Structure 1
Amino acid sequence: MADNTQTEKEFILANPEREISLLGAQDQFVSLLEEGLNVTVNPFGTTIKVAGEPFQVEKTITILQKMDKLVEEGIQLNSADVVSAMKMADRGTLDYFLDLYTETLIKDAKGRPVRVKNYGQRQYIDAIKHNDVTFGVGPAGTGKTYLAVVMAIAALKRGDVEKIILTRPAVEAGESLGFLPGDLKDKVDPYLRPIYDALYAILGAEHTNRLMERGVIEIAPLAYMRGRTLDGAFVILDEAQNTTNAQMKMFLTRLGFGSKMIVNGDVTQIDLPRNAKSGLIQATKILKGVNHIEFVEFSADDVVRHPVVAAIINAYEKLENN
């Protein structure tokens, strides 16, 4: 028989001025905690009452304590932070939650610090720092593209590299490139939108466009990489699941001295023609264990978008596994 014992505990705010920072504007974090942990959270002035199953109530109180500690240190929380805390609590890794905030990777265009949001992202950043080639494999929404661009810009600012090259295969995802207006760049630009979005978020549109005009940042379809050797560059290949085996080999062998490569993709979203094999799948099989190459695998638990996105990914995975 299920244990339906209900309990109520109180979390007392040491500083009433921290309430909005802790619970979000219009208590938006409260609804996240209630839905994610199946508890009821009632704020009364400096007291936050949490009711539900004892284990879930304890978990919620611990999460509030960790979040309050961050707020006390002047860190501005958002919904993604709350979702990360809940996921870490479910995994039993909440003790490491505060560690995620010890390092600022870079400041974005609005001056806000960019930090890792979960343990999966922390592993990914560590892999990029310590390897020449890093593969980030996993579902959309895990921050692979954004963090890769963050690390590229940080390396450029430090003077570790002279240029950033961002590329992806121009593969049609059910749409036809040929019918789009303009030249090849015009046709491919919409496919590179996530990369532009990440650059604009970190550098601002004006600064990004200036660096692109000077050739310091280059965004190009994968076909443009053939025959080049990329020295002193930070190179990111996005949507790598849509490369063929030959394209992946071509890309990886462009690696030059003083360069870093990041290869990102999601093997559940392959848009290649049916008879073509994904270069990303082959690479994960043949390059594991090769020195200076590391693979980081993300799961739905690492998704830092709206909590429903993780649930959608899990539902599709379940269908495919069945």
Structure 2
Amino acid sequence: MIEKHIILEDIDPVVFYGVGNGHLQMIKSLYPKLRIVARDNVIRVLGDEEEMASFEENIEKMRRHVLKYNSIGEEDILDIIKGKQTKADGVKGVIVYNISGKPIKCKSQNQQQLVDAFEKNDMVFATGPAGTGKTYLSIALAVRALKEKTIRKIILSRPAVEAGEKLGFLPGDMKDKIDPYLQPLYDALEDMIPAVKLQDMIEKNVIQIAPLAFMRGRTLSDAVV
């Protein structure tokens, strides 16, 4: 018998374990030969080596499912363990999923052109009237790239320019001062990344805030702005 510790990285353990640990109890019932104990984001497993290898592989598939879709159900768990494609995997054209598991997709031909341009170019400029999804779609593409580890950080940058109204003196550090100008970006991020995880990313500078005036001379090969 062997023992392993599996760490659920980059996901919310509460989503993975389910309400009242329902998902965890189901996983335990599907692997009766293993002794499984979970605490926070660490799963401790004791049992046969062959059974352990199957368990570890399927847990990683479930973790990636939660990372991609921000949710997982009992049907998804059964499909993964049986080696089948989940229903969510069969949906085409999804950029990313919001925190409630709803797919975010292009709703117009112009939005699809933006996505296509993002795939083919290092720098993309999106112009258009307010409300056409420029900011929201851009954030969705950035979050997807971060989840897929094709980038290492997201830098949010906007010119600190007032829209006709004088805000006056804003107290606090640089982040506090520029936050009002970045609120549309925060709104989109909060719709796609769980609040606790988002705050952790900001604190670790995985998601970084920088005024446009401070961007000169920076290397952005590892980031989406």
Shorter-chain TM band: 0.5 to 0.7
Is 1:134 aligned to 2:117, yes or no? no
State the partner residue of 2:224.
234
Is 1:180 aligned to 2:176, yes or no? no
Letter in 2 for 1:187: K
SS at match of 1:182: coil
Is 1:216 aligned to 2:206, yes or no? yes
SS at match of 1:160: coil
SS at match of 1:136: coil
- Return the offset for 1:221: 1.3
Cα distance in structure 1, aligned partners of 2:149 and 2:194: 20
SS at match of 1:105: strand
SS at match of 1:137: coil
- Tell me the TM-score normalized by structure 1: 0.40
- Return the offset for 1:229: 1.5
State the partner residue of 1:34.
none
SS at match of 2:132: coil
Cα distance in structure 2, aligned partners of 1:221 and 1:169: 6
Q: Aligned match of 2:151 in 141, 158, 161?
A: 161
SS at match of 2:94: coil
Cα distance in structure 2, aligned partners of 1:143 and 1:114: 11
- Return the offset for 1:184: 3.6
Q: Aligned match of 1:198 in 175, 188, 191?
A: 188
Q: Aligned match of 1:149 in 121, 126, 139?
A: 139
Q: Is the 8 A contact 2:97 2:103 kept in 1?
A: yes
Q: What percent of counterpart residues are identical?
A: 53
State the partner residue of 2:98.
108
Letter in 2 for 1:224: F
Cα distance in structure 1, aligned partners of 2:107 and 2:196: 27
**Deviations 1:161-202 (CA, angstroms, capped at 9, x unpaired):** 111111100012122344333344322211100000000000
Cα distance in structure 2, aligned partners of 1:189 and 1:135: 23
Cα distance in structure 1, aligned partners of 2:115 and 2:213: 28
Letter in 2 for 1:166: L
**Deviations 1:120-172 (CA, angstroms, capped at 9, x unpaired):** 11111111111111111011111111111110111111111111111100012
Judged with a 3 Å threshold, the aligned counterparts in structure 2 of structure 1 residues 139 and 122 are, in CA distance, closer, same or farther, namely same
What is the root-mean-square deviation of aligned Cα atoms in Å? Answer: 1.5
Q: Is the 8 A contact 1:167 1:221 kept in 2?
A: yes
Structure 1 residue runs of 5 or longer lacking an equivalent are: 1-100, 236-322
Q: Is the 8 A contact 2:175 2:209 kept in 1?
A: no
Letter in 2 for 1:115: K
Aligned length: 135
- Return the offset for 1:113: 0.9
**Deviations 1:242-296 (CA, angstroms, capped at 9, x unpaired):** xxxxxxxxxxxxxxxxxxxxxxxxxxxxxxxxxxxxxxxxxxxxxxxxxxxxxxx
Cα distance in structure 1, aligned partners of 2:136 and 2:188: 5
**Deviations 1:200-251 (CA, angstroms, capped at 9, x unpaired):** 000122211111111111122112212322221112xxxxxxxxxxxxxxxx
SS at match of 2:162: coil
The 5 A counterparts of 1:32-111 are 102-111=92-101
State the partner residue of 2:115.
125
The 5 A counterparts of 1:235-250 are 235=225
Q: Is the 8 A contact 2:153 2:223 kept in 1?
A: yes
SS at match of 1:133: coil
